Amino acid sequence: MDKISALMDGELDARQAEQQVGRLRHDTEARACWDTFHLIGDALRGECRFSAQFGARLYARLEQEPTVLAPRRRTPAGRATAYALSAAASVAAVALVGWVALQNAPVPPAQIAAAPAPVPVSVPVTPPPVEPVSVPSEGTMNQYIFAHQGFSPSTAIQGLAPYIRSVSAEQTTKVRE
């Protein structure tokens, strides 16, 4: 338990840190300690935003998410962890905290579960546009407009004037607003 505390405080060397991180992966008790210490730390610093069971519930949720849990999104964090572990212990601790933070912050679990494994979750999903973008016809449709005009009741009301549409637009590119 003091080892966990030491890990948090960055007092372990690289090998020890690696050991403790490995322990954290398998030992639920150690993990509970890690959580509690962090909660205490947060509370002391006045940053306590989560309930005491938050960690437990979070891990329970994560437990239910099988391998999908490891989508690409986490690769950078994982890499960071590996790097940190091979370096100074303090850095390892920071990376781990970062890793935990990553669990908390970005993606709602439901979304992780829904995402197919090979798809990078971080790609922003833009909703498809309701209508395709309309471009000025630039005179390419004049023949059709000309053929259409003769059937339009607007021609009945306004006479020849609407035919301007079918001879128009040839030079509109130069008259842009």
Residue 174 is classified by DSSP as: G
Q: Which residues contact 61 (CB under 8 A, 6 or more apart)?
A: 109
Q: Please provide the distance, in angstroms rounded to a whole number, between the alpha carbons at the two ends of the chain.
A: 71
Judged by CB, which is closer to other proteins: 125, or 157?
157
Does 108 engage in binding with other proteins (CB under 8 A)? Answer: no
Could you tell me the smallest distance in angstroms from the CB atom of residue 174 to other proteins?
A: 8
- Please choose, out of 1-9, 88-96, 105-113, 155-163, the segment that lies near other proteins by the rule CB under 8 A: 155-163
Tokens linked to 1? 């338990």
Q: How far apart, in whole angstroms, are the C-alpha atoms of residue 52 and residue 48?
A: 9
Does 128 engage in binding with other proteins (CB under 8 A)? Answer: no
Judged by CB, which is closer to other proteins: 67, or 171?
171
Does 119 engage in binding with other proteins (CB under 8 A)? Answer: no
Per the CB < 8 A criterion, the answer to whether 28 and 42 are in contact is no
Contact positions toward other proteins, by CB under 8 A?
Answer: 131-138, 140-141, 143-172, 175-177
